[in-house]
Amino acid sequence: MEEQDINIKITDREGVTHDIVAPTDMAMNLMEVVRSYELAPEGTIGVCGGMAMCASCQCYVESDTVLPEMQDDEEAMLSEAFNVKENSRLGCQIQMTPEMEGLIVTLAPES
């Protein structure tokens, strides 16, 4: 684990929780971390490439981590997505920064 890495927990769609080491120096977002660790089948997550246009990377935030404020496009996409909860966010809109240390999320079901 490098100095610039953070620890996060991701529960996949099968209910398996993974302890993940995520880099903060590669401009990665949570959706890209999920893809790089292959925690969801290719083609079922990050379908639009990370433009907040598909909700395939929707996740439920289980920790009290202070997240970046939701922008209009993310809010709008979630308003049309399925399986949305109060703690829903789009993984593609959560950048991996040192502030995300300890983040705990669960991937929303594929829809």
Partner 1 sequence: MIKTDILIIGAGPTGLFTVFEAGLLKLKCHLIDALPQAGGQCSELYPKKPIYDIPGFPEVLAGDLTKNLLEQSKQFEPGFTLGERAETVEKQEDGTFIVTTNKGTKHQAPVVAIAGGLGSFEPRKPLIANIASFEDHGVEYFIKDPEVYRNKRVVISGGGDSALDWSIFLADVASEVTLIHRRNEFRGALDSVEKVQELKSQGKINLITPAEVINVIGHGKVEGVVVSQSQHIEKEFIVETDHFIPLFGLSPKLGPIANWGLEIEKNAIKVNNALDYQTNIPGIYAIGDVNTYPGKLKLILCGFHEATLMCQSAYQRINPGKKYVLKYTTVSGIDGFDGSRKESPKAVVKAIK
DSSP 45-79: SSTTSSSSSS-TTEEEE-S---PPPPPHHHHHHHH
Q: Is 51 in the site for partner 1 (CB under 8 A)?
A: yes
Q: Return the residues of window 13-42 that contact partner 1 according to CB under 8 A.
A: 41-42
Q: Is 47 in the site for partner 1 (CB under 8 A)?
A: yes
Q: Is 43 in the site for partner 1 (CB under 8 A)?
A: yes
**Residue 85: Cβ within 10 Å count:** 12
DSSP bridge partners of 23: 5
C-beta of 21 vs 51, nearer to partner 1: 51
DSSP bridge partners of 105: 10, 61
> Cα 76 from chain centroid?
17
Please, what is the minimum distance in Å from the beta carbon of residue 62 to partner 1?
Answer: 22
C-beta of 50 vs 61, nearer to partner 1: 50
Give the interface with partner 1 as residue ranges (CB under 8 A).
Answer: 41-44, 47-48, 51, 53-54, 56, 76-77, 79-80, 82-83, 111
